Every structure is written in C-alpha cells, then in structure tokens.
Amino acid sequence: MSQSNPNINIEAIYISPGHDFYGRYGMDRNNHGIQLLETVHCVAGSGLEGDRFFDYKEDFKGQATFFSAEVADALRGHFEDVFFENSAFRRNLITRGVDLNALIGRRFKVGDVEFEGTEESAPCEWMDEAVGPGAREFLEGNGGLRVRIMTSGTLCIGLINLDILE
C-alpha cells in the first residue's frame, strides 16, 4: 500500500565532483564546482552519477541528499541582507511540496526511483561560511534528507509523483 502525493516539485538538481567541506574540519574550504543538471541518473546502492558521494562506501546513508526549497525561502526571509543560491547548501535535489523530515525512516518513490530516507542531513559549521553567519543554527532540524538509492532510474527537474511506500 502506498500514499501518493503528485505535488512534489524538483526545482534543481546539483552534483559536484569533489568535497568542499566534508571531512575538512579545521582546514580551508576546497572550491570544487557544482553543476546544475536538468536530469540525473540515480544508481541503486551507489549514488548519483558524477557526484562526489558516488560509490563513496558500501551501504552509505547519504548516496543522495534532498533539501526543501521552502526552508531555503525561510532562511532568505530570516537573513534578508544575505544573498545565496540554493547550490550553497551542497544538497543534490532541491524540492518543494513535501515535508522531508517525514520521510526519515521511510521508503518512498520519486517517479520510478525508490529511496530510503536514512536521516537528516544535519547542517555543519560550514553553513555559516557557505550561506551566512547564523545559517547553521537556523537550519538545525531542517538541514535536508539523506537517502539510500534502492532502485536505479533517472530524475528530472519538474513536477513528479511521490509515493510513500508502506
């Protein structure tokens, strides 16, 4: 049995070939580019083709990450004098129309790709540098969703069906 909500919108898809912040505590930021894609291939058990976490390690909980466009909008409203692109969060899929925290511990399908929501993609101290001072604290509890990819397939920008599997 599944619950369907056809109103999820993938607003942006980002990948990066390298880590700017991850594993760099106490060091300077790297400056790997981030690519905005129209489509991305999701590979079961591996991640997003071309992304820095692709085949990172076996059974990795963050094969892809989701981030809420609504949270980004709220952050912009809170820090009116700070400009940032949604790519600053370094999350893969920017979505609108779904409570990402409600997907933690759940299996769900976006289009034909099945995911398992593993945990919050907790904001780190680097958010204050990437977005602006106070961003990390603001994002606590709303840092996004880390997932495992359970079935392979392709996602694209736009409205797409969401099925929460039970």
User: Which CATH number belongs to the domain containing residue 47 in this structure?
Assistant: 2.40.33.20
18: pLDDT strictly greater than 60 = no
Confidence of residue 62 (pLDDT cuts 50, 70, 90): very high
163: pLDDT strictly greater than 70 = yes
d(CA 162, CA 5): 5
Residue 97: domain span? 2-165
Rounded to two decimals, the pTM is 0.86
- Report pLDDT for 4: 53
Phi/psi-derived region of residue 25, left when phi > 0, alpha when psi is between -120 and 50, beta in every other case: beta
Percent of the chain predicted with pLDDT > 70: 86
90: pLDDT strictly greater than 90 = no
Confidence of residue 135 (pLDDT cuts 50, 70, 90): confident
Question: Domains in the chain: how many in total?
Answer: 1
